């Protein structure tokens, strides 16, 4: 294929996807007393207010949170 490019019969490939920066992974930690610690920027992006309560259950994919009334 490079011989065809050198002869000018096939145009060279220009561009491509390029390497972009990977998105920052948001992690949630569990404290030594079992408290779940969610970073402040993640809380703000999810639009969660201080004092809100959630019901939690285990699923095949991990855990599910549902606002408790």
| Among 45, 46, 40, 39, residue whose Cα is nearest residue 67 | 46
Q: How many residues does the chain have?
A: 69
At 33, the pLDDT band (50, 70, 90 cuts) reads very high
Q: Region 43-64: what's the mean pLDDT?
A: 90
User: Burial code of 29-54, b = ≥16 C-beta within 10 A, e = fewer?
Assistant: eeeeeeeeeeeeeeeeeeeeeeeeee
Q: pLDDT value at position 1?
A: 61
At 18, the pLDDT band (50, 70, 90 cuts) reads low
Architecture label for domain 23-69:
Ribbon (2.10)
Q: Region 39-59: what's the mean pLDDT?
A: 89
Task: List the chain domain ranges.
Answer: 23-69
Q: pLDDT value at position 58?
A: 94
CA distance 35 to 38: 10
Question: pTM of the full predicted structure?
Answer: 0.48
């Amino acid at each position: 294929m490079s011989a065809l490019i050198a002869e000018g019969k096939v145009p060279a490939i220009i561009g491509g996807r390029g390497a972009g920066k990977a998105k920052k992974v948001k992690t949630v930690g569990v404290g030594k007393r079992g408290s779940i610690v969610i970073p402040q920027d993640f809380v703000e992006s999810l639009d969660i207010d201080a004092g809100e309560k959630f019901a939690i259950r285990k699923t095949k994919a991990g855990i599910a949170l549902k606002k408790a009334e």
